[in-house]
Structure formats: structure tokens, C-alpha cells
Amino acid sequence: MARDTRGKRRAQRKAGAQEGAEVKPVQKSTQKSAQKSSQKSVPARARQRQAQVRPATQPQSAQTGRREPRARGRFVKEAWGELKKVEWPGRSQVIQGTIVVLIACIIVGVFLYGADQAFKPFVRNVLLGQ
């Protein structure tokens, strides 16, 4: 609704500027008619969106499964272009990240070793019965 009234005001301003006439505000009756017309067009817009979302409602010729011929190496060129956009980490960031990963691996390894040593007698004596 607001878009319709804005569009009408713009059109009136342009027409007024071209003719040298004064710009008149949009009347309430035109706003109501614009509101009614926009309510009627909503289902049509919804149907268009559904047609875009649901490919089954599109014509059969659009669903052949064939693709347009592509130039060779297009994927590689596009991938290279995307890699140029990436902000790569600096040397200090790589070293810091590596240290964090190594420390995390050591902590998890020590935890698993401790859990293994703690449960070893339980498994041997109770579960295996040796």
C-alpha cells in the first residue's frame, strides 16, 4: 500500500514539475482504492512465488535435466576468483592456531589415558572375571 501511494506521489510530482503545476496531496479515496487493488494482487504474487519455488508447476520443457554448455575451466576460474577474495591468516595466526590445536590434543589424550588406566582394573576384574 505504501509503495503504491509513494509511487503515485512521485508520478504527481513529475507531472507537476513538467507542467509547472502545484503538487496536490493524494486523496484518501485513492489510498483506499490502492489498498483494495494491492489486496487483490497479493494472491497473484503468491502464485508467482510458488511457481518459482515449486519446479513441478513449471512447463515440462524447463525440466529436461540438460544443462547449457559451459566453457571449459569455468569452475576453476570461478573457484580461483573466490580464493582471491579470502582473507588468509598471517604467519602468527597460523602458529597460534596450531599451538591451540596441539594443546587441545594433549589434554584430550591425557584424559583418555587416565580414563583407560582408571577403568582397566574394573574391566579386568568385574566384566572379564579374571
What pLDDT sits at residue 105?
A: 98
What pLDDT sits at residue 108?
A: 98
Measured CA to CA, the distance from residue 42 to residue 71 in angstroms comes to 41
DSSP state of 20: T
Distances (CA, A) of 20 to 14, 25, 26, 75, 83: 10, 16, 18, 56, 56
What pLDDT sits at residue 23?
A: 46
Measured CA to CA, the distance from residue 2 to residue 76 in angstroms comes to 46
What pLDDT sits at residue 37?
A: 53
What pLDDT sits at residue 31?
A: 54
Measured CA to CA, the distance from residue 74 to residue 77 in angstroms comes to 5
Which CB contacts under 8 angstroms, 24+ apart, belong to 96-103? Answer: none
For cell 576468483, name the residue: 81
Averaged pLDDT, groups of 10, the chain, 130 residues long = 77 74 52 53 73 61 64 89 94 97 98 96 87
